[in-house]
Amino acid sequence: MKRDAYKVVGECLVFTLAFAILLGFVVACSGDNDVAGGSSVDSGVIAITNKQIAGVAQKGPFVLGSSIVLKETSAAGNLKPTGKEFFATTRSNAGDFVIEGINLESQYVRLTATGYYKREVTGENSECQVRLNALSDVSNRDRVNINVFTHLEYARVLKLIEKGMPFREAKKQAHTDWLNVFDKKHLDEDFEDLDVNGSKPDDEALRQLSSWIDNCAFNEDIPSDKRCTVGQNFVDAFADSFAKSGKLPDDLNVEDYPRNSMLVCWFLLSDYFE
């Protein structure tokens, strides 16, 4: 009888120990999939609390009252918008803005600036509004500039992420692709750190490309009633072309854009980056 009792107790102890080990394994695995607001898709995703983001929006500098929108993206780390947005307007004709009280489930944000701007060459206000985008990881930064370079990078990064590349690698690849387009050895800084009014070589490259966009996208050869729509289509077509392969075609096809003007502008593009 005693032997039978000992046998039962022993079997119970073995079962209890096995269950405890199994429970510990399940808990550990569960912990791996739930990291600071992240998921198994991207364990590096973290939540952002009470953040303030400042910056400048520039084609030339966006004028006072231009719209700035910051979009939250999913904690899955796939850069898909959740629908939660934060709004601000530029505070002066220098394009400066501040967005306060930002709470996010992911540190990866999409930003869009829309408005009129100071033309680089003449200093006059543009007759057309322009829309520019930017992507950024705001976990370790509180300043994000929005400009022509960030707009070109934006579409390329999203395309790479769609193919399964993590955010950090996609940003690095898009940056490298852009350097290869014009065989540039500089442009070492993140594009959201560049300033058309800055004094660094990277700032000068931004200023050159912004001027080219101003002269070509909103070309005076385009009928005035179509100029603003065609101009934005030019900017987006330029970005979309780069997004697909990390390269640029020989020229662009934009509806209602004069063919002769397009060929001239495409030829001039190389002059800006010699």
Question: For residue 18, is it left (φ>0), alpha (ψ between -120 and 50) or beta?
Answer: alpha
pLDDT for the residue numbered 63? 98
The CA distance from 103 to 48, in Å, is 5
Q: 117 CB contacts (<8 Å, ≥6 apart)?
A: 58, 59, 60, 61, 62, 63, 66, 95, 125, 126, 130
Q: CB of 178 within 8 A of CB of 153?
A: yes
3-state secondary structure of 272: coil
pLDDT for the residue numbered 10? 47
pLDDT for the residue numbered 186? 63
Q: Is 36 exposed, middle or buried (0-12, 13-18, 19+ CB in 10 A)?
A: exposed
Q: What does the pLDDT profile of the chain (274 residues) look like in tens digits?
A: 444 444 443 444 444 444 444 334 333 433 333 333 333 344 589 999 999 999 999 999 999 999 999 999 999 999 999 999 999 999 999 999 999 999 999 999 999 999 999 998 788 999 999 999 999 999 999 999 999 999 999 999 999 999 999 999 999 999 999 888 877 656 778 999 999 999 998 898 899 999 999 999 999 899 999 999 999 999 999 999 999 999 888 888 899 999 999 999 988 887 665 5
Distances from the Cα of 187 to the Cα of 53, 175, 177, angstroms = 23, 9, 12
pLDDT for the residue numbered 106? 97
3-state secondary structure of 88: strand
Strand spans (E) along 93-174: 96-104, 108-115, 130-137
pLDDT for the residue numbered 22? 39
What values do phi and psi take at 187, rounded to 5?
55, 50
pLDDT for the residue numbered 274? 57
DSSP 96: E
Which residues, listed in sequence order, are joined to residue 56 by a DSSP beta bridge? 96
With 0.85 as the threshold, say if the pTM is over it. no
Nearest residue to 43 via CA among 134, 170, 138, 168:
168
pLDDT for the residue numbered 273? 58
pLDDT for the residue numbered 179? 83
